[in-house]
Structure 1
Amino acid sequence: MPTMADVARSAGVSVATVSHVLNGTRPVLPRTRQAVLDAIDELGYTHNTLARSLVTSRTRSVGLAVSAISNPYFTEILQGVEAAALEEGYSLLIADPHDDPAHERKVVQLLHERRVDGMIVAPSADPRDLVAYLGRHTVPTVFLDRVIDDRKDTAPRFDQVCADNTEPMTRLVTHLAGLGHRRIGLVAGLPGLSTTSERITGYRHGLAAAGLAHDERLVVSGNSESAGAERATAALLALTPAPTALLTANNAMTIGALRALRERGLSVPEDIALCCFDDFAWADLFSPRLTAIAQPSREIGAQAVRVLLDRLAAPAAPARTVRLPCSFIHRTSCGCPEKGTDS
């Protein structure tokens, strides 16, 4: 079996240089790095990460707890996390908490017991047990997509990475109001999530900016999933008068809303305008094409890795919350001509 010394001889460098390339402990000139990597490939050298973890107390692994199976939105975030972790030489252990607080606590403990160096977690609507566990065990953690209000003196502080939710939702409302809509319904997300509350706040800000009164009946929870959104949309359409425009607060709920509209024989945007928070791969394949807010999903995942690595390098640094901007994708479901993308 080839050794690190064999790699060093083949590449014409020192063993220390090979170690720096493998472990990322010091910058190496690109041509030197490539020579080391070529020698590794040629010799079939395998780095003993287990032995290194015993020496450094680091496993160079990151635990990721997101509901990627039950929520397709997290798939792109997962891709961003994986790519950024791999680039930094970290492996990824993934668990799906299914947005269930009890299960969330269990999977995070399992990841912790596997000695990950740190964790990236998209918290549930009730993360109290999760926060208590992470704080008690001082696990380096970045909260992803959904933020935790941990400003109380008794609560630990955590780094957080998410998209801006309030202003983009405000923009959707004012856009629809500018088209003449006065009754704009909102299919809101799961109660308790920061994304839900922030998007509802943005909706209210949009109404106020357009000089429209807030009617509580026009906000119905779709519980962040398709079936819930179908029921919520049906409830909104049963109002007298019914809304002339509809906003959905995530991509899964957009599907449920479209299903409810189809079952009632309503056309978009002829009978009702529709805008959604969360763009997705097939949004421009619908007829009409969907006007949407696009979140920088992959960048959210990649940024979470960078923030976590910063935390590992400086454990005592102040916690920070990073918010990334969204983009307004103007298509035709809102009822006006397509104009392309405007960030």
Structure 2
Amino acid sequence: MATMTEVAEAAGCSTTTVSHVLNGTRTVAAETRRRVERAMAQLGYRRRVTRPGRAPKNLSAVGLTLPGVSNPYFSELVQGVERELARAGRVLVQAETHDDPETERRAVASLLTHRVDALIMAPSIGWAERTWPLLVDRRVSFVLVDRLVQGEVDQIAVENEPGAKVLVEHLLALGHRRVAMITGLPGLSTTLERELGYRRAHARRGVRVDPALMECGASGVDGGRRAMLRLLDRTEPPTAVFTSNNAMTVGAMTALAERRVQVPQDVALVGFDDFEWSGLLQPALTTAAQPCHAIGARAVQLLLSRLANPNQPARTLRVPASIEHRDSCGCERATSQDASAPDTASAAAKVVRPRPSAAVRVAGPIAIASVG
């Protein structure tokens, strides 16, 4: 087996630099890091992770990396992870990545240094280039949540495309023909799948998608606000807008308040990620809710199964969103039976009923749909 010294010689750097690349203890220039990783791969270097002391047998730790737990979606997911781990006699160690691949790599390296046995991750866009080699090198079991990737890995997420398709097709069924979309961070599976649902809803209704009505909100509150303002400033503003996460819903709502656009009299508003306070707003928000707690718990179950049987085939699991029909879409509130989660856009008509007095007009005002 190759040594760290041999890796350093092959990469043309010091053993200290190799150590920093492995442990994430200091930022290393991108080109140097690539040389070190390439040398490790060519030499077949595999590091033995030494763990000082003995951890209690019934108190092993699992690491969790997320873009930011202040987001209500991830906050509820954490609760599901933590509760399921407690049932299994394990503890949770958490780190934030801020959707930055280098921060993510360093967070994972730090978690592994602190005796974490396995990981649950919502991966950043650049995870495959930076974090993936580290996981392979350490031979760490992990499960991905929310954001799916190509490849044989354990992962779990909501059914993004059907949920987006239901919401957008509902707006089209109300008569809107200029439905805009505020998209999330480019490259994320959530962004791509929700855009696909948006496009397929248009195709099903025979409505052309106007590329000029697609604005990037970068998955954040400020990005959603700026994207909404750009749409409102167009010569021909959209009559409906579909945003692709809960943060951008908040941003869009902020922009509408700034412009004194009323909901639902001037604007119909729906959202994919449900907020704890969605039903308390005036008007109450119509949303597609993700079962965040259940996703977190199921991710732990996948991980425990992987730890018990490392050679089993990788699994990708999907869970449906549920439609919480309230007032902001400009429709009469559905019955609880009607509001059960559809998994195809064809079921949208069973979920929402147009209000006789047309609160959503087709020409001029805006309707908003939001997916998180």
Structure 2 equivalent of residue 342 of structure 1: 340
Select the residue among 186, 196, 200 that pairs with 1:201: 196
Alignment length (residue pairs) = 285
Q: 1:307 aligns with which of 277, 302, 311?
A: 302
Q: Deviations over 1:194-233 (max 9, x none)?
A: 1111101111011111111011111111111110000000
1:100 aligns with 2:100: yes
In 1, the alpha carbon distance for the partners of 2:286 and 2:87 equals: 34
Please give the alpha-carbon distance, in whole angstroms, between the structure 1 residues aligned to 2:106 and 2:70: 17
SS in 2 for 1:293: strand
**Per-residue Cα deviation, 1:104-138 (whole angstroms, up to 9, x for no partner):** 00001111122222100010122121122112222
206-215 vs 126-135, greater mean Cα deviation: 126-135
Partner of 1:125: 125
Amino acid at match of 2:244: A
State the distance in 1 between where 2:55 and 2:227 align.
54
Residues 164 and 272 in structure 2, CA contact (< 8 A), matched pair in contact too: yes
Q: Look up the equivalent residue of 2:92 and give its one-letter code.
A: L
Alignment of 1:1-343 (within 5 A): 51=54, 53=56, 60-128=60-128, 129-150=130-151, 157-339=152-334, 340=336, 341-343=339-341
Cα distance in 2 between the residues matched to 1:276 and 1:191 = 20
CA contact (8 A) 1:162 1:300 kept: yes
Instruction: Return the alpha-carbon distance in structure 1 between the equivalents of residues 312 and 183 of structure 2.
Output: 36
Q: Output one character per residue of 1:288-317: Cα deviation in whole Å (capped at 9) or x when no partner.
A: 111111000000000000000000000011
Give the drift of 1:51.
Answer: 4.6
Alpha-carbon offset, residue 87 of structure 1: 0.8
Offset of residue 181 of structure 1: 0.9
CA distance in 2, matches of 1:68, 1:77: 11
Report if aligned partners of 1:167, 1:202 keep a CA contact under 8 Å in 2.
yes
SS of residue matched to 2:332: coil
| C-alpha distance in 2 between matches for 1:190 and 1:122 | 14
Q: What CA distance in whole angstroms lies between the structure 2 residues aligned with 1:218 and 1:92?
A: 42
Q: Could you tell me whether the CA contact under 8 Å between 2:177 and 2:239 is conserved in 1?
A: yes
Shift of 1:273: 1.8
> Could you tell me which amino acid in structure 1 is paired with residue 311 of structure 2?
A
Q: Residue 126 of structure 1 contacts residue 192 of structure 1 at CA under 8 Å; is this kept in 2?
A: no
Aligned-partner residue type, residue 318 of structure 1: P
RMSD, aligned CA: 1.5
Kept in 2: contact 1:184–1:247 (CA 8 A): yes
Moved more, 119-128 or 238-247: 238-247
Shift of 1:67: 2.5
- Runs (4+) of structure 1 exceeding 6 A deviation are none
Deviation sequence 1:32-84 (CA, Å, 0-9, x none): xxxxxxxxxxxxxxxxxx7565xx7x862111111233533200000000000
TM-score (norm 1): 0.80
Q: Which amino acid aligns with 1:248?
A: T
Q: Structure 1 stretches of 5 or more lacking a match? A: 1-49, 151-156
What is the CA–CA distance in structure 2 between the aligned matches of 1:202 and 1:133, rounded to whole Å? Answer: 34
- C-alpha displacement of 1:262: 1.0
Q: For residues 195 and 279 of structure 2, what CA distance do their matches in structure 1 show?
A: 25
What CA distance in whole angstroms lies between the structure 1 residues aligned with 2:154 and 2:330?
A: 40
Could you say what secondary structure the match of 1:180 adopts? coil
Contact 1:184 1:246 in 2 (8 A): yes
Give the CA deviation at 1:321.
0.6
Contact 1:61 / 1:92 at 8 angstroms: preserved in 2?
yes
SS in 1 for 2:62: strand
Q: Is the 8 A contact 1:248 1:275 kept in 2?
A: no
Kept after mapping to 2: 8 A contact 1:166/1:202: yes
Amino acid of the structure 1 residue aligned with 2:169 = T
Q: Secondary structure at the match of 2:181?
A: strand
AA aligned opposite 2:283: P
* Separation in 2, partners of 1:90, 1:248: 37
